[in-house]
Amino acid sequence: VMKKLDAQSPLGYSCSGEVIDVGSGVRGFNVGDLVACGGVTACHAEIVAVPVNLCVKLNPGADLKQAAYNTLGAIALQGVRQADLRLGETCAVIGLGLIGQLAAMLLRASGVRVIGIDVNQHMVDLALKNCLDVGVNRKDGGIEDRIYSFTNGIGCDAVIITAASDSLDPINFAGAVSRKKGTVVVLGAVPTGYDREPHYYR
């Protein structure tokens, strides 16, 4: 165990670059292509070997610095798709780090009304400039009342949790601000056990 803890390990799971070689069974990619990659093998290194199903070909003029965010964008997009929202519905995003900001932008671009919640006021302010209809600091009082007022007493159609926490607060708070039979999507690293009362049975 101690040897494993002391061993170095690659960092990251999203990168972009130029193809310098292709495996014998690979089709659709050629040396010189620009690609974006995801997964554990798409680590932060000068040269990586990535399975073909975790690569996507980019346009020749693509900005590789922007393309390096592909996996983070894919995670945010998958959360938005799982929420399955319609034009004009309301979604709360709990946690406004990078993935939360991306998810909020995608929601806003889809015509969804977006409420952003974070414990860091700077992140709330940043999201308010770009993609939120309502931004609140989780540490403030009266948040649930404010959200219910914004949703005309219905609650959020979906909640996407992108926060990282050991606390049950994000999942319980999601239940508190969801409408009956609302959707809760967990993208972040949070425990998933609801307190049974009062929101579980929604």
Average pLDDT per consecutive 10 residues, the chain (202 residues; last block may be shorter): 75 93 92 95 92 94 93 94 96 96 96 97 96 95 94 96 89 91 90 66 58
Pair of tokens at residue 46: 């000068």
For residue 93, give every residue at least 6 positions away whose Cβ sits within 8 Å of its Cβ, in sequence order, or none.
100, 103, 104, 107, 114, 115, 116, 117, 159, 160, 162
- With vertex at residue 116, the alpha carbon angle to CA 115 and CA 118, rounded to the nearest 5 degrees, is 150
pLDDT at residue 190, as a whole number: 82
Helices 169-177, 143-150: crossing angle, 10 deg rounding: 40
pLDDT at residue 197, as a whole number: 63
| Chain center to CA of 117 | 14
